[in-house]
Amino acid sequence: MTVDVVYPPVIAAARIMFRVLDLRIRLDGGQHIPREGGAVLASNHVSYLDFIFCGLAARPSKRLVRFMAKQSVFDNRVSGPLMRGMHHIPVDRDFGLGSYKTALERLKAGEVVGVFPEATISESFTVKETKSGAARLAAAAGVPLVPMAVWGGQRLWTKGRPRTLTRRHVPVTILVGEPMHPTRRDGHQAVSDELRQRISALVGRAQREYPDAPAGPDDAWWQPAYLGGDAPEPTTTPHG
């Protein structure tokens, strides 16, 4: 059984920061994350803070999420000890099988594993093509595959933009969809395609219902192009 000494205080510190910044966090669908047993959470990726917001989605179920993250995050002298202390899973792209086996072991042990199927932050703020790892893990472990979406965190810290972690009153939306139940008989690509459609629909809903709009032309960078924002055009057509 995993003993968590680092994870709870990190969560407490994050919640204090959110209160200080008065972030307007909205969570809908948290009941879809099972209270016991393994599960794969699969989310879109718009900011470097997404893993924190995705982790918050599991709080109603009183679960701790073990996220799969690239090896460089674990190699960093600041984030590395925290990531290891929270028992997250490093992904070495040259030796991906080891990461897959570790995640599978965690799932079979009844833990929740968090995955960003796009692999990298989407600079268009729409859902890119997704990798099949989340579908393969859920099917192999016989656990639910839970689609979810986060929106708003890109205004605080995202790829290619300066960090604005002191910005106050930013709304952040976290939506969790109904679980999928892939099996070994299902085609991984078909499951991945359906997962992308479900995540895209959740992202579209989060964008439509988001309570803020850009303050002016200079603030339109965080909106996707299809909503009239200045984010780069996606290479694939957004859903939702």
The pLDDT value recorded for residue 92 is: 83
Q: Is a pLDDT exceeding 60 seen at residue 238?
A: no
The two tokens of residue 27 are 């969570």
Q: How far is Cα 56 from Cα 52, in angstroms, rounded to an integer?
A: 6
Mean pLDDT of 152-163: 97
The pLDDT value recorded for residue 236 is: 59
The pLDDT value recorded for residue 38 is: 98
Query: Mapping DSSP to helix (H, G, I), strand (E, B) and coil, where does residue 180 land?
Result: strand
**pLDDT one-digit tens code per residue, 104-142:** 999 999 999 999 999 999 999 999 999 999 999 999 999
Q: In the β-sheet with 145-151, what is the strand arrangement from edge to edge?
A: 24-28, 171-176, 145-151, 39-43, 112-115, 65-70, 89-91
Q: Is a pLDDT exceeding 70 seen at residue 31?
A: yes
Long-range CB contacts for residues 211-215, cutoff 8 Å, separation at least 24: 211/24, 211/171, 212/152, 212/170, 212/171
